[in-house]
Structure 1
Amino acid sequence: MTQTEYRYQQLENWLLQGITEQRWRLGERLPSIRALCEQQGLSKATVQHALQRLEAQGLIEARPKAGYFVALLPHAAKTPRSLARIEAPRPVTVSELFLDIMRRSAAFDLLPDLHAGDSPPGIVALNRAIGRALRRQKGDDHQYYDAPAGDMALREQLSLHAARRGWQVLPEQLCITSGCQHALFLALMACCRKGDVVAVESPGFYGVLQLLEQLELQVVEVPTSSETGLDIDALDAVLKRWDIKACVVSPAFATPGGALMPLSARQRLLALAEQFDLAIIEDDIYADTAFSQVPDPLKALDTSDRVILCSSFSKSLSRDLRLGWVAGGRWHDRILHLKLVTQLASSRYLQQGLADFMRDGSLAAHLRRQRGELRTRRDRLIASLHAWPGEIRVSTPQGGLAVWLELPESVDTLSAYPVALSQGLVITPGPLFSVSGQFRNCLRISFAHPWDTRRSEALGRLPELLLPGL
């Protein structure tokens, strides 16, 4: 061992000890390379080598023009296990608990009655753009419906937005919808008929389960990993056992775990779709929340028009902006017809305002600000969760709005729901993300809102509700 090797290992161990002892907490910035050189009396190359070794272990991450930050605590590296069971297809019955949570507008907030103060700059700019579009309405424009596919200016901006992610789509291949949920609804109606079987992620998005129930479709749940998403081997086994018409998947930061599907899994998924004549419905709504590079959509790899991409800006911009879009592939004409039946037309001035907001760079600026804020909120949440008693497992998503928390098997989050509610807290129990009652010891916790004093206090009260006696 050379003297140089010994010194970089010394620095690596010193930094690792500091991270373990939380001298630098999750999400905090390490000393700069220059500062470490001066403090430790080391060369720049030696310091960089030590940092690169820690980065390779996933313990720190480099952020352009900002330095190195703690990305993972060594003692808290356990991620939630893939606990889903494969069961025969069944009809869907959505829990009354889901309806209760939605009535409280609490899907992403422990304290739904706590409203923030001033709007962020991006929302202010969006409102101004929509206001200008409304004022531009002239004559009897208000007497006419929008074109079925939606405003061309908006579709052109969405086409440019997609191109920046590596997906070349023509404006004519897009259809504007009333949000992503509406896009998913149209996609399912276009490629499925009553009684058909649809494969979904488990745990997966409860909004999809609600749509399947309304359309009287059957569901088969496919296990997922909170790191890599849909288990492709499990999907392969499911496809060999049952006649499945469609698969709903979120390759980028799927809720609740925030997984990012690797390229190899995406390629296998498309190969299975071709082999089994399967429609793939891609829920792409979280992609723009990526903390670093926004991943390409699965649709970008689709050479057979088997992928129907559904998305909106409701998770990355505003939930009040009820505009989404769908790229229907071989089902495009059918989707346009179904939109006429279910919605007729979208708001013209909202579309024009959003197009202007995108054209002048305001959306890009908003997303840059938001990504940094979301990463900081995620880091603070995970650091708080790892301070809880007992053995817990927490996902570490690189995008999205929530983490997936696996608690000891003795915990029943469904039973804890009314107890938490009596104290003014609204939790999102794990069984909501399945039709088979699985994940009773799991919980989704969102970092969509700032951790102000009241939300931090609310988070701090959860261990005594969920982990009594530990």
Structure 2
Amino acid sequence: MRGLPVSRSPLRYRYQQVEAWLFEGIEQKRWRLGEKLPSIRRLCQLHQVSKATVLHALMHLEAQGWIEARPKSGYFVTYHVNPPKAAQSHNILDVPRLANVSDLFLDIMQRSAAFDLLPSSPTLEESPGIRTLNRSIARALRQQNTQESQYYDSPAGDAGLRSQLSIHQARRGWRVESDELCITSGTQQGLFLALMASCQPGDIVAVESPGFYGVLQLLETLGLQVIEVPSSVNHGMDMEALETMLQRWPIRACVVAPAFSTPSGALMPIDRQRRLLDLAERHDLVVIEDDIYADTALGEIPAPLKALDTSGRVILCSSFSKSVSRDLRIGWICGGRWHQQIQQLKVVTQLANSRFLQQGVAHFMAEGGFAAHLRRQRQVLQRRRDQLMMSLNEWPIQPMTISRPLGGLSIWLELPEAVNTLNAYSEALRQGIVITPGPLFSISGRYANCLRLSFAHPWNKQRLQALARLKTLLFK
């Protein structure tokens, strides 16, 4: 059946809290397939909310296909939730090996389609936040003087931008001083610097499985060995499996995305985060946190793992590319005990960032443009996610598992074992459709029956038609 694991995070709106509570009950089999949910009046009493709030939550679950309204009877569960296969692979432990990333990654990037099923389709929806950002950047460029243009930016980056980032992180619950941050050209560069500073060629690095293919590419480039740790779409990396691996092999570092990891959108609970840091202390492990998706949270933005770090063992990397624009190549890194070395490596590999771009982004944040953009973006992304899930729930395919992220830009689709998404890639291309097959998220050859589908772009008529054609390609 179509299982729908749910991540847990702070939720901004009351209807989201009610929706999450109801789905958790379905997930935990408090209400089973065919059973009736509590009445609207009872839900209003339980959660101290209005009837409109309860109806909003019920309509969201119904739109996604997990409950149905029956006239004069109430709401009933229509699908049974099963755990996804990816979460059941904890007994499979890999051995360290050198990464070998498929040429498919480069092919997808050359098509500018890492997050778009149909890159030829127009986006149509214009973002007020991007307009505001462009004005801020243009203003910063106009105010540049001739003297500044003849000098490089400082290694740490613009002080004003680092100050605004410090304020933004404080709102998430992480107190970080601006001089603890270093501006980068995106999260990928931050991860590269973190690995260079903390590892030597031949070292073993633990990664999530399935996990970000960009990390695998970095590990291959740096000559680092990879060991894949099973991860679930609910809670991310399996700490028991990681502990077993740490006891068996001299793992140097662990790259992890606690907030809405790609491809599944998993959110690591706080108890797992604490256990990860405990394992890091006991085994002298460097923890490299990929925090790029945190600002895409559909509710409140969760605090980073770095906020729990008391020994400078966590290196946090992030950027604006997923929350604002992929074309805005500005990120940041907090290097902990490796911070000075990271800054030196940045000077060697990049020298400096664009000063006026940083100043423009700092102005965008200081004037409230970034916060306003995130508020609007949460609503846009949730609408797109729900529309994608509603379309997928109409696929008459079983068994099929769909993750239900509360942040990030994509879902993880687990299809029947007979489906091979890698084989479907070329045929889909001939129809102008670009998919991201499951095997790309591992070096093990697993996940051939899995697919990452993004909701980063609007589901216009052309993309919905492409999604329908994809179903035919996969199951013909």
Given the two structures, how large is their TM-score scaled by the length of structure 2? 0.85
Q: What is the aligned partner in structure 2 of residue 70 from structure 1?
A: 60
> Quick check: 1:407 aligned with 2:397?
no
Rg comparison, structure with higher value: 1
Output one character per residue of 1:414-436: Cα deviation in whole Å (capped at 9) or x when no partner. Answer: 11111111111111100000011
Contact 2:320 2:328 in 1 (8 A): yes
Q: What is the aligned partner in structure 2 of residue 240 from structure 1?
A: 247
Q: What is the aligned partner in structure 1 of residue 25 from structure 2?
A: none
Contact 2:157 2:183 in 1 (8 A): yes
Corresponding letter in the other structure for 2:345:
L
Contact 2:233 2:265 in 1 (8 A): yes
CA distance in 2, matches of 1:65, 1:186: 48
CA distance in 1, matches of 2:83, 2:407: 16
Alignment of 1:309-328 (within 5 A): 309-328=316-335
Corresponding letter in the other structure for 2:153:
D
> Quick check: 1:211 aligned with 2:186?
no
Q: Secondary structure at the match of 1:245?
A: strand
TM-align CA RMSD: 2.3
> Quick check: 1:449 aligned with 2:460?
no
Q: Relative to 1, partners in 2 of residues 1:323 and 1:413: Cα closer, same or farther, differing over 3 Å?
A: same
1:117, CA displacement in angstroms?
3.3
Q: What is the aligned partner in structure 2 of residue 344 from structure 1?
A: 351
> Quick check: 1:49 aligned with 2:39?
no
Of the three residues 96, 102, 126, the one matched with 1:95 is 102
CA distance in 2, matches of 1:239, 1:382: 37
CA distance in 2, matches of 1:166, 1:63: 28
Output one character per residue of 1:90-132: Cα deviation in whole Å (capped at 9) or x when no partner. Answer: 0011101111111111110111122323631000000000000
Q: What is the aligned partner in structure 1 of residue 283 from structure 2?
A: 276
CA distance in 1, matches of 2:266, 2:96: 24
Corresponding letter in the other structure for 2:254:
C
1:70, CA displacement in angstroms?
2.4
Q: What is the aligned partner in structure 2 of residue 13 from structure 1?
A: none
Listed as ranges, the gaps of 5+ residues in structure 1 are 1-26, 31-44, 56-60
Q: Relative to 1, partners in 2 of residues 1:394 and 1:66: Cα closer, same or farther, differing over 3 Å?
A: closer
1:372, CA displacement in angstroms?
0.5
Q: Relative to 1, partners in 2 of residues 1:281 and 1:48: Cα closer, same or farther, differing over 3 Å?
A: farther
Contact 1:79 1:226 in 2 (8 A): no
CA distance in 1, matches of 2:45, 2:151: 60
Contact 1:183 1:325 in 2 (8 A): yes
> Quick check: 1:385 aligned with 2:378?
no
Corresponding letter in the other structure for 2:84:
P
Alignment of 1:27-426 (within 5 A): 47-50=40-43, 69-71=59-61, 73=66, 74-76=77-79, 77-78=81-82, 80-81=84-85, 82=87, 84=89, 85-117=92-124, 119-391=126-398, 392-426=400-434
Contact 1:287 1:294 in 2 (8 A): yes
CA distance in 2, matches of 1:242, 1:275: 14
1:389, CA displacement in angstroms?
1.9
Q: Secondary structure at the match of 2:360?
A: helix
Contact 2:40 2:54 in 1 (8 A): no
CA distance in 2, matches of 1:224, 1:115: 35
Whose RCO is larger (CA < 8 A, sep 6+)? 2
Q: Secondary structure at the match of 1:88?
A: coil
CA distance in 1, matches of 2:281, 2:297: 29
1:160, CA displacement in angstroms?
0.2
Corresponding letter in the other structure for 1:411:
V
CA distance in 2, matches of 1:149, 1:104: 33
Contact 2:40 2:55 in 1 (8 A): no
Contact 2:43 2:54 in 1 (8 A): no
Listed as ranges, the gaps of 5+ residues in structure 2 are 1-15, 20-37, 67-76
1:68, CA displacement in angstroms?
5.7
Alignment of 1:9-28 (within 5 A): none
Corresponding letter in the other structure for 2:134:
N
1:320, CA displacement in angstroms?
0.6
Q: Relative to 1, partners in 2 of residues 1:52 and 1:260: Cα closer, same or farther, differing over 3 Å?
A: farther
Contact 1:79 1:395 in 2 (8 A): no
Give the fraction of aligned pairs with identical amino acids, expressed as a percent. 59
Output one character per residue of 1:294-332: Cα deviation in whole Å (capped at 9) or x when no partner. Answer: 111000000111100000010010011000000000000
Corresponding letter in the other structure for 2:407:
G
Corresponding letter in the other structure for 2:60:
V
1:225, CA displacement in angstroms?
0.5
CA distance in 1, matches of 2:279, 2:174: 21
1:467, CA displacement in angstroms?
1.2
